[in-house]
Amino acid sequence: MSETAELDAMVDAAAAVLGLRVAPEWRAAIRAHLAISLGHAHAVADFALPDEAEPAPVFRA
Amino acid sequence: MSGSEAALTPWAGASEIATAVAGGQVAATAVTAAALARIAHANPRLNAFTDVVAARAMARAAAIDAALAAGRPVGPLAGVPFAVKNLIDVAGLPTRAGSRINRDHPPAARDGTLVARLEAAGAVLVGALNMGEYAYDFTGENVHDGASRNPHDTTRMTGGSSGGSGAAVAGGLVPIALGSDTNGSIRVPASFCGVFGLKPTYGRLSRAGSFPFVASLDHLGPFARNTGDLAAAYDAMVGPDPADPVCTDRPAEPVGAALDAGIAGLRIGLAGGYFRAGASAEALAALETVAAALGPVQAVELPEAARARASAYVITTTEGAALHLQRLRERPEDFDPDVRDRLIAGAMVPAAFVAQAQKFRRWYRDAVLRVFATVDVILAPATPCVAPAIGQKTFVLDGREHPLRPNIGIYTQPISFIGLPVVAVPVPLPGGLPIGVQVIAAPWREDLALRVARALERQGIVRAPVPPAAP
């Protein structure tokens, strides 16, 4: 499957789960933005962190 | 002189205005009327204001004049006109946040905390300012209200998303404006428009009564044309606010009294690596000018800055999408298409990446705090280039063409990601457009960034240049 086809499949599946409509004329931009966001996401995921690493947000009751 | 504004030019700063009003040299009503006249004259050209609250402003100014006449205290910003990005609540206006959709909201019942605090210090709100839709923007363009335009060249972007704030201050319409900064939305327009901007420490200034974008990263802060005004606005707003759960309960730590403490003994770092790659000749020239003026500087590296930017990007697009999910389902055609398509894509990013980005945020914070054990302040470019043309879609970074909109904030994002306080200082380049430099300090040390900015201003290295077609 090409990268474009993979992204299109992801857009279709996620849109169905999220209840979002993707008009045909929006698809190319959404696909491009998703590719950029996933590129950044993988850069983050590739960084090894210990299981005990605490996430940053702090909630004080 | 009373009742006339003859002694004050459109470029009078907040402190100058407040001194003249408090001293009875000019009436607050005259100052306000002059600001309203400047807005009426210049706004068709700059498109900085989306709302002008003339009747409210004149009533507020009259109350200040009455208080003065009765010998009552009027506050350190007496009669100073200011305006706020239209995501901050103004009683009686729907808080549109740059969108079409939010215009259907009922009018705000009360002012946002920072508006109330500035007015408690005597300042006079004159209106609300244009911005990129829902603050997901670095350009200052807006499909619903039109682009805000750069006072130094109205064919150029103001930068965003606080574009109206940059234009209003740089264009001489008001001496102080408020904006918000999630990834650079104060520092980018400050850079492109050639004014000072302060993004305080995350949690320092209350966000209560403002429309959110990314709760993990949202900050509010002031713009001004000089460091004294920036500090005065900050001092009037700082302090705990139970209405914002993120706002610190540290006592207010005002900065004005120590602004002129100088920089002797401060260790200045110059960010390298990531913060040089992709910078235009103008951005590097501004950075080097500022660094040279501060004496010996030491090169520092912020470890994993590219990954920090990537993490900020992921948190932004996913939290922003979550905020707007219902609106994306129900009214997608009413969004700015550039914003809608990014948000829809953001909703589709798997959650595992977001959790990792928040974990990385703490790792990166700890790593950068270790750098601050060796320096007090770090210098970095604010934007990779001077203001691009309105409508421009791509630009060249590091020899490669990139989409413009998501990449203007490459140098601001790794800093706001961990909430560090920053003063964006404007460097006027000979014969060209201004560009900003970030003066970055450790958390809660706004005072140090402002002292360095003040020292640079005193040397004449940084200043807000008067644009060519000034009012």
Domain count, chain B: 1
Whether residue B348 has pLDDT greater than 90: yes
pLDDT at site B399: 84
| Contact between B61 and B32 (Cβ < 8 Å) | yes
Quick: pLDDT tens for B189-218: 999 999 999 999 999 999 999 999 999 999
Amino acid at B85: K
With an 8 Å Cβ cutoff, is A16 touching chain B? Answer: no
**Averaged over B415-444, what is the pLDDT?**
97
**Averaged over B97-109, what is the pLDDT?**
98
Whether residue B471 has pLDDT greater than 80: no
Give chain A positions within 8 Å (CB) of B314. 37, 40-41, 44
Whether residue A44 has pLDDT greater than 50: yes
**Averaged over B78-102, what is the pLDDT?**
98
Q: How many secondary structure helices (H) and strands (E) does chain B include?
A: 13, 15
What residues have CB less than 8 Å from B98, skipping those under 6 apart?
B86, B87, B130, B131, B132, B133, B134, B135, B137, B142, B144, B145, B161, B336
pLDDT at site B3: 44
| Contact between B229 and B175 (Cβ < 8 Å) | yes
B158: nearest Cα among B138, B173, B143, B172: B138
Does residue A56 form part of some domain?
Answer: no
pLDDT at site B470: 58
- If you average pLDDT over every residue of chain B, what do you get? 96
Which domain covers residue B291, as residue numbers?
14-458
Mutate to test the interface with A, among B304, B315, B348, B362 (most CBs of A within 10 A): B348
In A1-61, DSSP assigns E strands to none
pLDDT at site B468: 86
Whether residue B469 has pLDDT greater than 80: no
B231 vs A57, residue with greater confidence:
B231
Pairwise CB contact (< 8 Å): A55 & B348: no
What residues have CB less than 8 Å from B396, skipping those under 6 apart?
B402
Q: What's the CA gap between B464 and B450, in Å, rounded?
A: 15
Element (H, E) at B233: helix B227-237
Whether residue B16 has pLDDT greater than 50: yes
**Averaged over B82-96, what is the pLDDT?**
98
**Averaged over B269-283, what is the pLDDT?**
95
Distance from CA of A24 to the nearest CA of B (A): 12
Ramachandran angles phi, psi of B462, nearest 5°: -120, 140
Does residue B3 form part of some domain?
Answer: no
| Contact between B381 and B275 (Cβ < 8 Å) | yes
Whether residue B271 has pLDDT greater than 60: yes
The answer, yes or no, to whether the previous bond of B161 is cis (omega within 30 of 0) is: yes
B149: nearest Cα among B223, B225, B51, B44: B44
Does residue B464 form part of some domain?
Answer: no
Distance from CA of B129 to the nearest CA of A (A): 28
Token digits of residue B105: 């909201």
Does residue B6 form part of some domain?
Answer: no
Whether residue A23 has pLDDT greater than 60: yes
Query: Which CATH number does the domain housing residue B312 bear?
Result: 3.90.1300.10
Distance from CA of B113 to the nearest CA of A (A): 21
Whether residue B88 has pLDDT greater than 60: yes
Quick: pLDDT tens for B118-133: 999 999 999 999 999 9
Q: What's the CA gap between B90 and B319, in Å, rounded?
A: 25
Whether residue B9 has pLDDT greater than 80: yes
Task: Give the number of A-B residue pairs with CB atoms closer than 8 Å.
Answer: 111
Pairwise CB contact (< 8 Å): B306 & A41: no
Q: What's the CA gap between A15 and B344, in Å, rounded?
A: 8
pLDDT at site A55: 86
Ramachandran angles phi, psi of B427, nearest 5°: -110, 110
Burial of B212 (0-12, 13-18, 19+ CB in 10 A): middle
| Contact between B342 and B398 (Cβ < 8 Å) | no
Grade residue A46 by pLDDT with cuts at 50, 70 and 90: very high
Does residue A39 form part of some domain?
Answer: yes
Q: Which of B49-63, B202-216, B373-387, B389-403 has the lowest mean pLDDT?
A: B389-403
Burial of B400 (0-12, 13-18, 19+ CB in 10 A): exposed
Give chain B positions within 8 Å (CB) of A50. none
**Averaged over B262-276, what is the pLDDT?**
97
pLDDT at site B5: 47
Grade residue B180 by pLDDT with cuts at 50, 70 and 90: very high
Grade residue A56 by pLDDT with cuts at 50, 70 and 90: confident
Catalytic residue among B15, B85, B165, B416: B85
Grade residue A2 by pLDDT with cuts at 50, 70 and 90: confident
Token digits of residue B295: 């004496």
Does residue A50 form part of some domain?
Answer: no
Amino acid at B183: N
Whether residue B222 has pLDDT greater than 70: yes
- If you average pLDDT over every residue of chain A, what do you get? 92
Pairwise CB contact (< 8 Å): B216 & A11: no
Amino acid at B66: A
Domain count, chain A: 1
Does residue B213 form part of some domain?
Answer: yes
Give chain B positions within 8 Å (CB) of A36. 313, 345, 403, 406
Pairwise CB contact (< 8 Å): A55 & B307: no
Report the share of chain B in percent with pLDDT over 90: 94
Does residue B388 form part of some domain?
Answer: yes
Token digits of residue B288: 């080097």
**Averaged over A19-24, what is the pLDDT?**
98
Q: What is the 3-state secondary structure (H, E, C) of B38-75?
A: HHHHHHHHHCCEEEECHHHHHHHHHHHHHHHHCCCCCC
Grade residue B70 by pLDDT with cuts at 50, 70 and 90: very high
> Residue A41 is nearest to which of B349, B359, B418, comparing CB atoms?
B349
B85 is catalytic: yes
With an 8 Å Cβ cutoff, is A61 touching chain B? Answer: no
Burial of B25 (0-12, 13-18, 19+ CB in 10 A): middle
| Contact between B162 and B460 (Cβ < 8 Å) | no
Does residue A28 form part of some domain?
Answer: yes
Quick: pLDDT tens for B305-332: 999 999 999 999 999 999 999 999 999 9
ipTM of the complex: 0.93
Report the share of chain A in percent with pLDDT over 70: 90
CA distances from B398 to B225, B279, B284, B402 (A): 32, 7, 13, 10
CA distances from B112 to B123, B167, B172 (A): 14, 22, 24
Does residue A58 form part of some domain?
Answer: no
Whether residue A24 has pLDDT greater than 50: yes
Q: What is the pTM of this model?
A: 0.96
Q: What's the CA gap between B267 and B374, in Å, rounded?
A: 8
SS3 B168: helix
Which domain covers residue A23, as residue numbers?
3-45
Whether residue B6 has pLDDT greater than 80: no
